[in-house]
Amino acid sequence: MLSSRLHDLTRLPLAYALQQLINGLTLGMVYGLIAVGYSLVYGIVGMINFAHGDVFMVGSFLALIALLAFGGFPVPLALALALLVTLALCGLLGFAIERVAYRPLNRSHRLAPLISAIGVSIVLQNAMQLLQGARMKPIAPVIGGGMNLLTQGSFAARLSYAQLAIIGVTLLVLAGASLLIRRTDLGRAMRAVEQDRMMAALLGIDTGRTISLAFVLGAALAGIAGLMFLVYYGVIDFFMGFEAGIKAFTAAVLGGIGSIEGAVLGGLLIGLIETFWSGYGSAAYKDAAAFSVLILVLMFRPQGLLGQKTAEKV
């Protein structure tokens, strides 16, 4: 069975590999957006927000509701309005999570906010199940059409306009987030709090406000990822945040937790590994392949691909 499978793979056209590359980049962009939220919060607070994947899930449902509400509008306008609604409400949700699940536990044991975040994750899952039901929610294709890039035999590598929009919007959002963190007062405050929270407070930085805005920004990015996922796959459910959150967290660790560029690189790698493994191997083991790569990388580079070794403060 395995030998015949490998023989078939050697006969697959170049167009098929190109198609898997396009699919992997698209999926990786979604993972990268979610992973950046993990890295932002970890870089500043030093803790993992395990409710982040479910913020992505809520963002998908908000985007679905918004697209249905603006269904009579032209598609570009409907998408733009859905994006604004998702950004605003997911950002507000991120603010609420920080105020309810993290800020009251600032002086508690480090495990307390972790357990609190897991509790928020369960609450969001069950709330969405009660509000929207347990069944999958499909939506008609929002962006149709595409272009054939390479045709070999009966197979054509196709870049859909939905994939093109997802890649383009994601690159713009990530570039904007990078500029915000590197070139603005808020970004400088975030980097100061990341390096030394007490010293930042002594210098007049409102550390509480900075941490809240980091949660808001991370949640907004997760909401955008939720909209991109909905547009790409066209179907969502209340439990999707768990799997996507684990994959994005893996991407953040693989790239170097705390690094925005590392989170994006990790997301792209996870997306490419999954799609190529599904295309050339067995889709049932794509998750095992992704986590195996993570283990191998961390064995030789524990800080991740783009992470930096840091001395522990004592």
Joined tokens for residue 197: 């929270």
Task: Count the Cβ atoms, other than its own, within 10 Å of residue 70.
Answer: 17
Q: Per residue in 102-127, pLDDT tens?
A: 888 877 777 888 889 899 999 999 99
Residue 12's pLDDT band, with cuts at 50, 70 and 90, is low
For the cut 80, the answer to whether the pLDDT of residue 2 exceeds it is no
> Which pLDDT band holds residue 98 (cuts at 50, 70, 90)?
very high
- The pLDDT assigned to 266 comes to 92
CATH fold label, 16-139+159-300: ABC transporter involved in vitamin B12 uptake, BtuC (1.10.3470)
Which residue from 60, 249, 220 is spatially nearest to 138, judged by alpha carbons? 60
Distance (Å, whole) CA 159 – CA 41: 34
Query: Looking at the DSSP assignment, which residues form a beta bridge with residue 156?
Result: 151
Predicted confidence (pLDDT) per residue in 137-196, tens digit:
999 888 888 999 888 777 888 999 999 999 998 899 888 888 888 888 988 998 888 888
* pLDDT tens-digit readout, 242-288: 988 889 998 998 988 878 888 999 999 999 999 999 888 888 888 88
Helices (H), 234-285: 240-255, 260-280
**pLDDT tens digits, one per residue of 54-74:** 999 999 999 999 999 998 899
CA 239/CA 243 separation, integer angstroms: 8
pLDDT for 212-228, tens place per residue?
A: 999 999 999 999 999 99
Q: Report yes or no: 192 and 203 within 8 Å, Cβ to Cβ.
A: yes
Report which of 33, 17, 19 is spatially closest to residue 231, judged by C-alpha positions. Answer: 33
The pTM of the whole model exceeds 0.75 = yes
For residue 313, pLDDT beyond 50: no
For the chain, what percent of residues have pLDDT higher than 90? Answer: 46
Mean residue pLDDT across the chain: 87
Distance CA 13, CA 263 (A): 32
